[in-house]
């Protein structure tokens, strides 16, 4: 078991990582001063597996949990589902002392987090991520959001949780494809901030894919500490935090243009990272050998490394133009100068297309 | 013309107060670093009077304004109207460098402020209040919200504007009833924080009701400085800021139970303050003479001072029980110990009803 603090002034909070922590979530929450009424917000698949255990643990910590289930999948990140959550919270007479536990992957974390951020102008939030992607990335940093019909995450808030509890044991039951997509974000942290980590991920492919508990705990802790380092220095993405978007600009455009659901988020980011390394070789001096290493590592974890057939369609171009990190027409692209070191360039979609065509 | 800074760390911002500032809003916004695309969000009544002037001023400051109108009135503080604003912002391709100008009273400030707080996880917001109520109170402090069908302001965020511009000249055209309701919040600031201010409001009833420009500028500045003092010390209403709810617990319950629209907000607060002074005489040692002075002052400005016929209905009781400041069953009531000094007590609805019946 491991733990540390994310230092953000009055929004500072604790992160706990370890096997079996779901059964201790009530005790950990009570240790942060939470008590009384709370909601476990989860999707139906995750709820079936873990909601009752979470509820039991919360009761054991002196809290009074209700379970609220949403449909699995990205379509739940909608104003419609958010409205249903508000109705539930109002009817259950939640007050400012109440709290929300987001039990699930990135969708649930974003949705339940945004509900917590905006109900009664903000009630306590605990992130209990159940996927690798959420444990290594989305649960930390305070980004919450829902989608607009014309783009992902256009509506949201930066709202820090009171506590993050990552139980790596929950990852054992994760479908293979969902486990692997999480590795994409793991590799991202190595690529942008921690070259030695890349070496470890290369050496341990089999043990990691076999979900060795000790290794998973180390990986989750390492990624979250790296992310905390970034978020502590730039909570609102004024500068440094943009490096976390490495691979995400092309990744988001692929997600939008290929239709939600064709690629899992991590899969689209995997392709986006390969695209970004190709650009980095051309524009920021990344060695071809380093680009090849990163591409091989991504492929070794069973993640896609090429653009799909027909990628260069109107939807893709429009999605690139509508990326919310853009300002004016050029897009800020995060590039690598070497493994573990980043830079960035303002590039127009036209400037990057030739390189994407080469993947 | 007067101005000061609200000191809130990275959310610190400037307040400008004076006659004719609407025509300088572009220059003032540019001075805060705002440029490019912006939206003037306003209700149809206010937009007819001031939106074109505001747009001209913003163009003069180098900004590129679009005007978005909502229906006047509390019903616009809905998820439905919020969704229309999101659609507008997405379709107009607003990015993170864009800004929103809330031109109107409390409804527009709350609604446009919440849109700014949640679009792209927060874009720059400028409050341009056009009513006395908004100029002396709601424009400052960062509270933004929309209503839920079961209660006011249940969905919202604390989100600070980048700039507040209060043009007291705009108050000259305000309907009499809307002007007077603003005085209720003015009196509140005297009651909770500034006894000498009460004396000035007593001496200047006629000149204030005649909307003397110099007096209005002084009053708006004094109220905003008092509010800034409170908000700087307790942005998230953990303790001190609750004193701003003086008169608001009963006030909100009256607004909810009498149906939106029977009482203007300030009118309901006026009655709520009389109720709170009655409770203060019984429970916190307020001198009867002080209570009488406050009640006379409220009445002198043409505001209501008695509970309406049939006030004690199920809706009223339910509204008291659903007030979002409650925790458990008792409600935290802000009381006076003397004019300009507050205390608070946890009271159940049953404990306060006998005193309300005496008004």
CB contact under 8 A, A121 and B157: yes
Quick one: CA torsion of B68, B73, B76, B77, rounded to 10 degrees?
120
- Cβ contacts of B158 on chain A, cutoff 8 Å: 121-122
The shortest CB-CB distance from A90 to any of B9, B148, B328 is to: B148
Predicted confidence at residue B180, as pLDDT, reads 98
Provide the chain B residues 131-190 that lie in CB contact (below 8 A) with chain A: 143-145, 148, 150-151, 153-158
Do A338 and A287 contact (CB within 8 A), yes or no?
yes
Could you read off the pLDDT tens digit of each residue along chain B, which spans 359 residues?
899 999 999 999 999 999 999 999 999 999 999 999 999 999 999 999 999 999 999 999 999 999 999 999 999 999 999 999 999 999 999 999 999 999 999 999 999 999 999 999 999 999 999 999 999 999 999 999 999 998 889 999 999 999 999 999 999 999 999 999 999 999 999 999 999 999 999 999 999 999 999 999 999 999 999 999 999 999 999 899 999 999 999 998 998 888 666 899 999 999 999 999 999 999 999 999 999 999 999 999 999 999 998 898 888 988 887 555 544 578 889 999 999 999 999 998 888 988 998 88
**Cα–Cα nearest to B324, from B198, B173, B152:** B152
Q: What is the CATH number of the domain that holds A143?
A: 3.40.50.1970
Q: Does A327 touch chain B (CB under 8 A)?
A: yes
Burial of A214 (0-12, 13-18, 19+ CB in 10 A): exposed
Mean pLDDT (whole number) for A282-306: 98
What tokens were used for B166?
């209060």
Same domain assignment for residues B70 and B169: yes
Q: Tell me which chain A residue has its CA closest to the CA of residue B142.
A: A121
Half-sphere exposure of A288 toward its Cβ, with a 13 Å CA cutoff?
Answer: 0
Q: What is the CATH number of the domain that holds A273?
A: 1.20.1090.10
Q: How many domains does chain B have?
A: 2
Q: Which of B173, B196, B224 is the last residue of a domain?
A: B173
Strands ordered across the beta sheet of B163-167: B2-6, B13-18, B163-167, B124-129, B99-104, B36-43, B63-70
Same domain assignment for residues B210 and B300: yes
Q: Cα(first)–Cα(last) distance of chain B, in Å?
A: 41
Q: Tell me which chain B residue has its CA closest to the CA of residue A10.
A: B236
Residues in chain B: 359
Q: Tell me which chain A residue has its CA closest to the CA of residue B90.
A: A150
Give A120→chain B minimum CA distance, Å.
Answer: 5
Same domain assignment for residues A143 and A281: no
Please give the helix or strand (H or E) that residue B274 lies within, else none.
helix B265-283
Give A223→chain B minimum CA distance, Å.
Answer: 23
Q: Which of A142, A173, A204 is the last residue of a domain?
A: A173
The set of residues, in sequence order, having a beta carbon less than 8 Å from that of A7 and lying 6+ positions away, is: A228, A232
Same domain assignment for residues B161 and B222: no
SS in 3 state form for A113-173? HHHHHHECCCCEEEEEECCHHHHHHHCCCCEEEEEECCEEEEEEEECCCCEEEEEHHHHHH
Secondary-structure breakdown of chain A: helix, strand, coil percentages, each rounded to the nearest 5:
55, 20, 25
Same domain assignment for residues A167 and A55: yes
Q: Which of A173, A205, A234 is the last residue of a domain?
A: A173
Q: Containing domain of residue B294, as a range?
A: 176-233+240-357
Categorize the per-residue pLDDT at A325 as very low, low, confident or very high, splitting at 50, 70 and 90.
Answer: low
Distance between alpha carbon B288 and the CA centroid of its chain, in Å? 29
Same domain assignment for residues B185 and B97: no
Q: Distance between CA A129 and CA A222 in Å, rounded? A: 16
Q: Distance between CA A116 and CA A110 in Å, rounded? A: 10
Categorize the per-residue pLDDT at A257 as very low, low, confident or very high, splitting at 50, 70 and 90.
Answer: confident
CB contact under 8 A, A90 and B158: no
Do B192 and A156 contact (CB within 8 A), yes or no?
no
**Cα–Cα nearest to A221, from A6, A14, A17:** A17
Same domain assignment for residues B222 and B341: yes
Give B289→chain A minimum CA distance, Å.
Answer: 36
Same domain assignment for residues A199 and A141: no
Q: Distance between CA B85 and CA B94 in Å, rounded? A: 11
pTM of the entire structure?
A: 0.93
B265 assigned to active site? yes
Give A176→chain B minimum CA distance, Å.
Answer: 32
Same domain assignment for residues A224 and A330: yes
Out of A237, A293, A325, A341, the active site residue is: A237
Same domain assignment for residues A209 and A353: yes
DSSP B312-345: SSHHHHHHHHT-TT--SSSEEEEEEEETTEEEEE
**Cα–Cα nearest to A139, from A189, A171, A176, A101:** A101
Q: What is the pLDDT of residues A66-118, one digit of tens each?
A: 999 999 999 999 999 999 999 999 999 999 999 999 999 999 999 999 999 99
Do B91 and B125 contact (CB within 8 A), yes or no?
no
Out of B74, B169, B237, B351, the active site residue is: B237
DSSP B1-56: -EEEEE--GGG-EEEEEETTGGGGHHHHHHHTT--EEEEEEEEHHHIIIIIHHHHH
Q: Distance between CA B27 and CA B61 in Å, rounded? A: 5
What tokens were used for A190?
């190595």
Same domain assignment for residues A137 and A249: no
CB contact under 8 A, B90 and A117: no
Q: Does B80 touch chain A (CB under 8 A)?
A: no
Predicted confidence at residue A302, as pLDDT, reads 98
Same domain assignment for residues B263 and B186: yes
Do B187 and B273 contact (CB within 8 A), yes or no?
yes
């Amino acid at each position: 078991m491991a733990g540390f603090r994310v230092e953000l002034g009055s929004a500072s909070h604790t992160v706990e990582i370890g096997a079996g922590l779901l059964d201790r979530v009530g005790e950990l929450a009570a240790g942060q001063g939470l008590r009384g009424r709370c909601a476990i917000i989860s999707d139906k698949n995750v709820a079936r597996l873990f909601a009752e255990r979470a509820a039991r643990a919360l009761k054991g910590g002196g809290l009074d949990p209700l379970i609220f289930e949403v449909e699995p999948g990205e379509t739940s990140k909608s104003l419609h589902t958010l409205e249903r959550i508000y109705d539930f919270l109002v009817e259950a007479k939640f007050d400012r002392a109440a709290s929300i536990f987001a039990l699930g992957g990135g969708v649930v974390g974003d949705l339940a987090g945004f509900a917590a951020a905006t109900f009664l102008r903000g009630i306590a939030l605990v992130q209990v991520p159940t996927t690798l992607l959420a444990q290594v990335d989305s649960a930390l940093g305070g980004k919450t959001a829902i989608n607009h019909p014309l783009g992902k995450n256009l509506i949201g808030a930066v709202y820090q949780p009171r506590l993050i509890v990552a139980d790596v044991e929950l990852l054992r039951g994760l479908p293979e494809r969902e486990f692997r997509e999480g590795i994409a974000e793991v590799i991202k942290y190595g690529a942008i901030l921690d070259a030695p980590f890349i070496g470890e991920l290369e050496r341990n492919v089999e043990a990691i894919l076999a979900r060795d508990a000790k290794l998973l705990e180390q990986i989750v802790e390492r990624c979250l500490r790296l992310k905390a380092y970034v978020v502590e220095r730039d909570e609102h993405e004024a500068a440094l935090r943009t490096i976390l978007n490495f691979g995400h600009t092309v990744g988001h455009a692929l997600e939008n243009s290929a239709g939600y659901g064709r690629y899992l988020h991590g899969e689209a980011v995997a392709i986006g990272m390969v695209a970004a390394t190709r650009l980095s070789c051309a524009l920021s001096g990344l060695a071809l050998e380093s680009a090849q290493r990163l591409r091989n590592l991504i492929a070794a974890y069973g993640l896609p490394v090429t653009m799909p057939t027909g990628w260069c369609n109107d939807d893709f171009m429009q999605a690139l133009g509508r990326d919310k990190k853009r300002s004016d027409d050029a897009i800020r692209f995060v590039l690598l100068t070497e493994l573990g070191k980043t830079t960035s360039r303002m590039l127009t979609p036209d400037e990057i297309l030739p390189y994407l065509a080469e993947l």
